[in-house]
Structure formats: C-alpha cells, structure tokens
Structure 1
Amino acid sequence: MADISTTDTGKPRRTAVVTGASSGIGAAIARALARDGFEVVLTARRADRLEGVAKEISEAGGSAQVFPLDVTNREAVRAFAAQLPTCDVLINNAGGAYGTEHIENADPGDWRSMYEVNVVGALHMTQALLPSLRASGDGVVVVISSTASFTCYEGGGGYSAAKHGSHVLAETLRLELCGEPMRVIEVAPGMVHTEEFSLNRYRGDLERADAVYTGVPGPLVADDVADVVTWAVSRPPHVNIDLLVVRPRAQAAQHRVHRVS
C-alpha cells in the first residue's frame, strides 16, 4: 500500500477506511469523505468495482486507495491493517441481507452469513485498526447499522438479529473506550434505495426488489446516508454522535411507510 499523501498545506491527510466501498452506501460514503479532504482507503471483495469508485474520486480531485478485502477473513484483515500506515476513521459499512423467509422456513446459512459480515466483520476491522485509531489522537469508529436494529418485522428475523448485533457492538465499544481519545458513532438508516441491497435480499428477483420502493415518495438514496456520516465524523473531537437514525419522510417506522399510487 502506498504512503498516505499530504494536503496542499503539507499536513498529512486524515485517513478513512471504508468497508463495503464497492457500491451503494459504502461507495457514496467514500466519495463524500474524499470531497471532505480525507484520504480514503476503499475495501470490499470486488476489486473491479473498487477501482471504478477510486477512479471517480480521483477524477473529482480526491485521493483514494484500493485494497480488495473480505472482512469475514480475520487473517486478511490483520494483513491489511499491518500495511496501513495510519487510520483516523473506520467506517464499518460492509453488510447485507439475505432472504425474506419466516423463521419457520429460514435458512440457517443465511442467518450465519448475515451475522458474519454485519457483526463479526465489523469486529475484525475494529480490533485490527484500534491501535492506529488510538494513535491518531481522535480516532472515530462508525458502525452503519439499520432501523432493523431496533424494530423486528415478519420475514426479517435474521437481518434484524444481525443488525441488533451491530448496534450492541457500537454501544458496548463506546462504553469500553470511555476516557480514551476515541469516538464511536452509530448511523441507522431506514429505507434506502440502492442498486443492490434489495436485489440481493430477494436473490436476484428484480420485480420483488423494485416493489419494496414502489409508490414511496422520496426514499433515501446512498448519498443521503453519506452526507449524514460525513457530518457526524467531522464534528469537533469532543462531540460524539452516539446514534443517528435517518429515514425518509415517508417512513414513520420499519413497518409504517406511506405510498402513493
């Protein structure tokens, strides 16, 4: 991995690592942080998609590095952390939802996969980068959870369980780091229309995936979440945004959504 660059003033750029940065919310967060002056390190499994995001950032005048990585692979995460010269902000965004079956018919493999990427992956990254985050003097750990962290719904048991785990990780870490130069921020999005989330959940069924957003006036998009994350991490070091829930106006709760014909 190349050395972290400096700003026009000669000062080192603050570095932000973004997991799941190849598409959707992760890619949007990476672009937003780069616009805000961060050196962004993009991680995800799909190298070609990461390269595309990095090219967009570079063409817009930002600075990004690419590191293909599966956050569920503990040894790979450790190797990545060992090559990273510095880290000021960690965005634990990698995640996903698989399946909509009721608990009676749910595939345990889907539940296991969701827990591994949403919770254990974030654990791997956080543990590996904590020394660098501490050393920065103002380390920030961001966990992208979900409104499913707090509200259960039919067909969402596995995803909600995993996101409850994400919420607990963030809340416990904040307690354990109290008194250190660290901030722990949880951002819990509601309905966000991205190109892949629902498509993956419905196993490639485009019609069912699109139906999730049908008639919803103004669902959130990835840039909305990225804007919130960038604002939260850019607060002064003494200001911690513990938990920020962001939903579209049309969504009053996980299961209460206004739709128009």
Structure 2
Amino acid sequence: MPEDRAARRAAIRAAIEADPAQTNTAIAKRFRASRDLVIEVRRQQAGALVMGRYESTCRTIAECAAVDEVKDIRDKARALEVYTQQAKNREAEEQAREVRLRAERRGGEIMLTQIVREAQPMADSRVVAKMFSKEHKHVMRDIRDLIELGPEQRSKFELTFDAVPEPKGGARRGPYYVMNEEGFMRLVMPFTGAAAYAVRKAFYSGLSGNARDARRAARGVRRMHARLGTAGARIEAARHGWCARSQYPQA
C-alpha cells in the first residue's frame, strides 16, 4: 500500500484508468484514502480527458461523413459524460454533453443528406435505431403503426430480411425496413433528442427556402407585369396620338 501521498494519488489514478466504473467509495477503501481525495483525482482526470480534446473532437464531428463514425464518437462522449458526473467536474461534464449533442445532431444531418442525395431507399430501420438511441423493435413497431394508419405509406417502406447470427451458432432471418426520404421524415418527426432536432431543423429550413424562392419568383412576376403594363400603355398612347405626359390628345 503506497504511503507517500503522491504515490497514493498515482495508484488511485491508475485504478481509475483501469476501471472507470469503480465507485469512489470502493477506490477509497482499497487504498485507505479519503473519498474526497479520490474525487479530486477523478476530477483532474476527467478535465484532462474531456477539456483537452474538446476542440479537436468538435472538428472531427464536423468532418464526419458516415453515421457509424458519428455514433462511435457519441457513445464515447456518453461514457465520458457519466464519468465526469461521477468525478463531480461540472465543466467537463457540460463539455462531454455538448460533444454528445453535436455528434447526435451531425448524425441526423448525415442521414437526411444521404437520403436526399441518393433519392433511393437507403436508410434502414437498424441505422435509425442506432442513431436515435432506440431499440430496433420499437422502430419496427413505429413503422408498422404508420403503415396501419395509412396504407398509402406502404410504398415508402420496404420490409427486408437479413441473416442474424445466433449465440449458439447458425443464423436466423432478421426483419428490418428500408425507407425513402418521405418515409424517413414521417418516422423520425415525432422522435426527441438532438439528432431528431437536427433533422427537423434541416427539413423546416428547406421549407423556408422553398417559400422564399416562391415569394421571390412572385415578386419577379409582378415586376414583369408592371413593366409590361407600362410599356403597353405607352404603345396605346402613341397609337392614339396622345401626349406621353398627359392623358389628353395632342392639339
């Protein structure tokens, strides 16, 4: 058992790194240290783990182009969020939470972008379940409910089967749905969380952009009609020999 305070802190740090899930009380008993000392060491480690990598992680999230990459960062950020909460490092906890939310928003943006770009059924219910932190069986249930409420929705979803390995060997047929853009939007609109928020924000931004384009086009048509109307009046005035500045015939 280390007697020196510095050696004890190093031993506590090593124990935390080996098993971050250990409770502060268990580590304190193991090294005969105060619980406050364990919390202090954990707080320092949490700050180094999160705050030292915050900027680079945010840049990595912005550069991600695949859902799996974002999901991996999101899962690690969630684990760090729990770890910093145990360490009672509020600042590091907030940064870990911000990283998780950024990753979830980026995942929603990537999914929507891929569907719109491909214009083909490419998102499947398994990816939706992973990205939106849901169980796949619940996503399947939501899709079946959509189809039952409106049979016309059936064309937006296609039931597919894939081989799923069994724990004791062999495989079974595992069902999942693939969906197009409209089906994806109808499915995730009621979802909550950062990824769902990013999808809704992108969707409504697109609607706003379409509305702005429509208003801009309408203003252009009105201006064109006004110019044509003015030119038509001048032509009519010249045809009748009227003065351009007055509405009366020339003398």
TM-score, normalisation: structure 2: 0.26
Structure with the bigger percentage of strand: 1
Which has the greater radius of gyration? 2
Higher RCO (CA-CA < 8 Å; seq separation 6+): 1
> Which protein is richer in helix relative to its size?
2
